[in-house]
Amino acid sequence: MALGFDEPLRQNAGQFYQGERHMKGTVHYETRDNIALMTIDNPPVNPLSSGVRQGLNDGINAALADDSVKAIVLTGAGRAFIAGADISEFGGKAEGPSLHDCLNTMDASSKPIVAAINGTAFGGGLEVALCCHYRVIAPSAPVGLPEVKLGLLPGAGGTQRLPRLIGAAKALDFMITGDPIPGPKAKALGIVDEVAEGDVVDSAIAYAQQLIANGSPIRRIRDEEDIVAADRGNAEIFDNARKTAARKMRKRFAPEMIVQCVEAAVNLGDFDAGIKVEQESFAKCLQHPQRESLIHMFFAEREVAKIPDVPKDTATQDIASAAVIGCGTMGGGIAMCFLNVGIPVTSLEMNQEALDRGIGVIKRNYDIQVQRGRMTAEQVDQRMALLTGTTDYADLGQADVIVEAIYENIDVKVEAFQKMDAVAKPGAILASNTSGLDVDKMAAATKRPESVIGLHFFSPANVMRLLEIVRGADTSKETIATSMKLGRTLNKIAVLSGNAPGFIGNRMLGGYTRQAGEIILQGATPYQVDNALLQFGMPMGPFQMNDLVGLDLGWRARKLGGMKPEDVPITARVADKLCEMDRFGQKTNRGFYIYPEGSRAGQPDPEVVSIVEETSAELGISRTEIDDDEVLKRCLYPLINEGARILEDGIAIRPCDIDIVYINGYGFPEVTGGPMFWADQQGLDNILADIKRFGEAYGGPNWEPAPLLERLVAEGKTFASLQG
Ligand code: 3H9
């Protein structure tokens, strides 16, 4: 029964302010018998924007002022309870009451407040629920404190309330990983009081009625000291948390801040003193550059799904079955991507032996998952049952999508497309996993270029999150929309690229590896270069990467192509010499590094340094000391310069698309926000000046400034300005 309060409060809380003061979001208010029901409404996921905060304050005060109201139930409209603070407000001036004002109002309420957690309760959303006196949850609703993923900590009392509820160790684990848990697990942990059996709002109202009937006391978590008192003096809890942070959140600023806040919760024995520590630490995180970068990544991940000329409502096809041509490392990994989400796959190889080998590797990969406790044997059986092997193209005819993952040679690929075209059913998507070849040439080999697209998975395909989707000149909007959707189904982050050599990622990589090769000839060691990039946050340096991929690949290709030694690029000379000594990298336990038997941790080798020095001498290059700052700039600035050209050529839609590619496909550190975002932070003018300086000193194609970079600098603009 509405009390007639719905409208006035809506005006007060949301619509009125939206008009007058540009506040965002609303809280609906109604009464059902003696219960005030407040429903947060800020589509699509109910973040705590200004209008929501205002509505929360006003609603609670209205309920307190109404003698007929005995308890309050708080829920969310739509699919979320509350997705957390409105992260688009960070870094700007927020209107309306602060979240802390709201929480203080709720905490002080003399009438019990019950959270009816209908859907996602993340970050500030869970913190609001923790400020309620009781919590009822829908079984499907996830709860989490994912602030750490945005470079933040739970700054609305979460670091102080959660340890008081579930103990410091579990609270720390929950906040340092930031991973959500489902409703029933939240109940098992003690975060919520009840899992609703039917409608969550009805259950919460019934719960509230029971509280009233029993005269139950208001339970304020802030007043509960027993659990944190029991943790006091147990230093191991915090040592373990720091170890987890170092392992899972390398180079992140926020985890240590979280640990310190929980230490305060445990050791200070005073809630308000703990809140003060939390607020100071939250402010430090808010000001830290990592926060800005990680929030950029959050929005960028959502932005890349938007393709200006492919509207959201473009029709898509159902992908209920797939075929993969080639069952080697890439093909097998791609098949696993489909199997992992329950899509049946037909795998094609040239002969039975290769097919058996490929399928054997897939099975072994799954068995390793079982050994590591990540899958059950039954799940492996289910996935393997979805896999069919064949050596006959005719067996691919019923697949909704066929992905070729064969040798990276355009003639071989064109032939595969002719065969795919001959057998595929009408409307099937024909995709290439090429990492840089011309998709239009493959499309031209078919009678259906509108159905041809590039689906560039990254190795290992079943692990890496990036999927570069390459549109050809004739690829239809429906094929693009279906492929983008397929990316989401496969739990990948899909980025659309234009069709040009190397697409986005590999085109940019050229300059990075070339510079690394040049720098070692001019004075640095491979170990110095790798170390500088590791310090920057890359998971491995370029020479470690070469060892992992195998130095012999390029060497063999050059030999097979009949390249004369004097024509070998100077940056490949050292690697080729190592190959002549059977040092192919990790696979032979020797490459740029020496790998003790069974270890992937390489050790520097003085012999390699001698080979590098000898090569410099042969080439007449005099060696001088190159500092780490120059190493970094020379490796990273070519990425940015080429990124600018890629934007100018329209190969990437937006700078943030490049950031997503580099972070998810090439290990660029997430805390930088990606190469283009990082470039803005460094100052494009500084980067341009260095590019010109390196051009004068060293010459070469990497140091010709991209016209877009020059224009942005001349206009005093950033890459971000291109996104509007
Ligand atoms: C925090 O709470 C700090 C506090 O501790 C302390 C404060 C003092 N704000 O992801 P989707 C937008 S920090 C603003 O596609 P889904 C999103 O950009 C916060 N906007 O949907 C997108 O916009 P668009 C802690 C937000 O169903 C649209 O909503 N909370 C927010 O796949 C739909 O999003 C988090 O870190 C937000 N908080 O997933 C949770 N959240 O349509 C962050 C979403 O224009 N959010 N938007 O592209 C999520 O994890 C997911 O969005 C969620 C929904 C799981 C909620």
Ligand 1 atom 16 nearest Cα: 45
CB 498 within 8 A of CB 470: yes
Best residue among 52, 87, 127, 143 to mutate for probing ligand 1, ranked by most atoms within 8 Å of CB: 87
The answer to whether position 509 is within a domain reads: no
d(CA 395, CA 321): 12
From the alpha carbon of 84, which atom of ligand 1 is closest? 2
Identify the domain boundary among 262, 285, 308.
285
Ligand 1 center from residue 117 Cα (angstroms): 16
Single out the residue of 586, 590, 592 nearest to residue 520, CA to CA. 592
Ligand 1 center from residue 83 Cα (angstroms): 5
Q: Please state the pTM of the whole predicted model.
A: 0.91
From the alpha carbon of 154, which atom of ligand 1 is closest? 5
**Beta-sheet pairing, 181-182 with 142-144:** antiparallel
Map residue 286 onto helix, strand or coil: helix
Averaged pLDDT, 613-625: 96
d(CA 164, CA 224): 6
- Catalytic residue selected from 7, 20, 95, 147: 147
Ligand 1 atom 32 nearest Cα: 302
Averaged pLDDT, 251-276: 96
Ligand 1 center from residue 445 Cα (angstroms): 44
- pLDDT of 188: 97
> How many C-beta neighbours within 10 Å does residue 384 have?
13
Q: Which of 123-132, 422-431, 592-601, 630-639 has the lowest mean pLDDT?
A: 592-601
Map residue 361 onto helix, strand or coil: helix
The answer to whether position 576 is within a domain reads: yes
Ligand 1 atom 41 nearest Cα: 83
The answer to whether position 78 is within a domain reads: yes
> CA neighbours within 13 Å on the CB side: how many for 37?
24
Amino acid code (one letter) for 5: F
Q: Is 89 in the active site? A: no
From the alpha carbon of 303, which atom of ligand 1 is closest? 48
Ligand 1 center from residue 75 Cα (angstroms): 17
Buried b (16+ CB within 10 A) or exposed e, 262-271: bbbbbbbeeb
Ligand 1 atom 27 nearest Cα: 45
From the alpha carbon of 150, which atom of ligand 1 is closest? 36
**Is residue 614 domain-shared with residue 563, that is, in the same domain?**
yes
Ligand 1 atom 46 nearest Cα: 83
**Is residue 238 domain-shared with residue 192, that is, in the same domain?**
yes
Residue 216 DSSP one-character state: P
User: Looking at beta carbons, which pairs linking 356-365 to residues 24 or more positions away fall under 8 Å?
Assistant: 356/389, 357/327, 358/327, 358/328, 358/331, 358/332, 358/389, 359/327, 359/332, 359/387, 359/389, 361/327, 361/329, 361/332, 362/327, 362/332, 362/335, 362/336, 362/387, 365/332, 365/336, 365/462
Q: Which of 137-141, 236-240, 555-559 has the lowest mean pLDDT?
A: 555-559
Cα 247 to Cα 177, 241, 640: the distances in Å are: 11, 10, 29
From the alpha carbon of 178, which atom of ligand 1 is closest? 36
Q: What is the tally of structural domains in the chain?
A: 4
**Is residue 590 domain-shared with residue 642, that is, in the same domain?**
no
Ligand 1 atom 28 nearest Cα: 44
For 681-703, what is each residue's pLDDT tens digit?
A: 999 999 999 999 999 999 988 99
- pLDDT of 1: 26
**Is residue 450 domain-shared with residue 351, that is, in the same domain?**
yes
Q: What is the CATH number of the domain that holds 41?
A: 3.90.226.10
User: Looking at beta carbons, which pairs linking 420-426 to residues 24 or more positions away fall under 8 Å?
Assistant: 420/325, 420/393, 420/396, 420/446, 421/445, 421/446, 421/447, 421/448, 422/393, 423/393, 423/394, 423/396, 423/397, 424/396, 424/397, 424/399, 425/397, 425/398, 425/399
**Is residue 265 domain-shared with residue 392, that is, in the same domain?**
no
Ligand 1 center from residue 614 Cα (angstroms): 55
User: Looking at beta carbons, which pairs linking 206-213 to residues 24 or more positions away fall under 8 Å?
Assistant: 207/114, 207/134, 207/136, 208/35, 208/70, 208/71, 208/72, 208/73, 208/112, 208/114, 208/134, 209/34, 209/35, 209/71, 211/71, 211/112, 211/114, 211/134, 212/34, 212/70, 212/71, 212/112
Q: What is the CATH number of the domain that holds 547?
A: 1.10.1040.50
The answer to whether position 308 is within a domain reads: no
Confidence band for 182, pLDDT divided at 50, 70 and 90: very high
- pLDDT of 4: 26
Token pair for 431: 């995709």
Ligand 1 atom 22 nearest Cα: 302
**Is residue 549 domain-shared with residue 659, that is, in the same domain?**
no
The pLDDT of residue 546 is above 70: yes
Ligand 1 atom 18 nearest Cα: 299
The answer to whether position 464 is within a domain reads: yes
Tokens 């003399």 correspond to 110
> How many C-beta neighbours within 10 Å does residue 101 have?
14
Ligand 1 atom 54 nearest Cα: 45
**Is residue 100 domain-shared with residue 202, that is, in the same domain?**
yes
Identify the domain boundary among 229, 261, 285.
285
- Catalytic residue selected from 20, 30, 89, 127: 127
**Is residue 231 domain-shared with residue 186, that is, in the same domain?**
yes
The pLDDT of residue 709 is above 60: yes
Report CA Rg, the chain.
Answer: 29
Share of the chain above pLDDT 90, in %: 90
Q: Which of 87-91, 341-345, 628-632 has the lowest mean pLDDT?
A: 87-91
- pLDDT of 22: 66
> CA neighbours within 13 Å on the CB side: how many for 171?
31
- On the question of a cis peptide bond just before residue 308, with omega within 30 degrees of 0, the verdict is no
The pLDDT of residue 144 is above 50: yes
Token pair for 668: 């660029």
- pLDDT of 17: 31
Ligand 1 center from residue 298 Cα (angstroms): 8
Best residue among 40, 45, 131, 284 to mutate for probing ligand 1, ranked by most atoms within 8 Å of CB: 45
Q: Which residues pair with 310 in a beta bridge?
A: 307
**Is residue 217 domain-shared with residue 361, that is, in the same domain?**
no
d(CA 142, CA 195): 12
Ligand 1 center from residue 300 Cα (angstroms): 12
The answer to whether position 68 is within a domain reads: yes
Ligand 1 center from residue 263 Cα (angstroms): 28
Range of the domain at 540: 524-618
d(CA 179, CA 175): 8
> How many C-beta neighbours within 10 Å does residue 498 have?
17
- pLDDT of 407: 85
Ligand 1 center from residue 87 Cα (angstroms): 7
d(CA 627, CA 438): 39
**Is residue 713 domain-shared with residue 632, that is, in the same domain?**
yes
The pLDDT of residue 10 is above 80: no
Confidence band for 20, pLDDT divided at 50, 70 and 90: very low
From the alpha carbon of 87, which atom of ligand 1 is closest? 9
d(CA 678, CA 153): 23
Buried b (16+ CB within 10 A) or exposed e, 403-413: bbbbeeeeeeb
Single out the residue of 194, 212, 216 nearest to residue 204, CA to CA. 194
Ligand 1 atom 24 nearest Cα: 302
- pLDDT of 13: 33
The pLDDT of residue 15 is above 60: no
- pLDDT of 6: 35
Residue 95 DSSP one-character state: P
- pLDDT of 89: 87
Ligand 1 center from residue 107 Cα (angstroms): 25
- pLDDT of 94: 74
From the alpha carbon of 79, which atom of ligand 1 is closest? 27
The answer to whether position 514 is within a domain reads: no
The pLDDT of residue 413 is above 90: yes
Identify the domain boundary among 446, 468, 502.
502
Exposed/middle/buried for residue 318 (C-beta within 10 Å: 0-12, 13-18, 19+): exposed
CB 73 within 8 A of CB 205: yes
Ligand 1 atom 10 nearest Cα: 302
From the alpha carbon of 98, which atom of ligand 1 is closest? 8
Ligand 1 center from residue 45 Cα (angstroms): 7
Q: Is 127 in the active site? A: yes
The pLDDT of residue 52 is above 70: yes
d(CA 121, CA 128): 9
The answer to whether position 476 is within a domain reads: yes
For 515-529, what is each residue's pLDDT tens digit?
A: 999 999 999 999 999
| Ligand 1, pocket residues at CB < 6 Å | 44-45, 47, 80, 83-88, 99, 120, 122-124, 127, 146-147, 150, 152, 154-156, 158, 299, 302
**Is residue 585 domain-shared with residue 494, that is, in the same domain?**
no
Q: What is the CATH number of the domain that holds 373?
A: 3.40.50.720
**Is residue 447 domain-shared with residue 333, that is, in the same domain?**
yes
The pLDDT of residue 2 is above 80: no
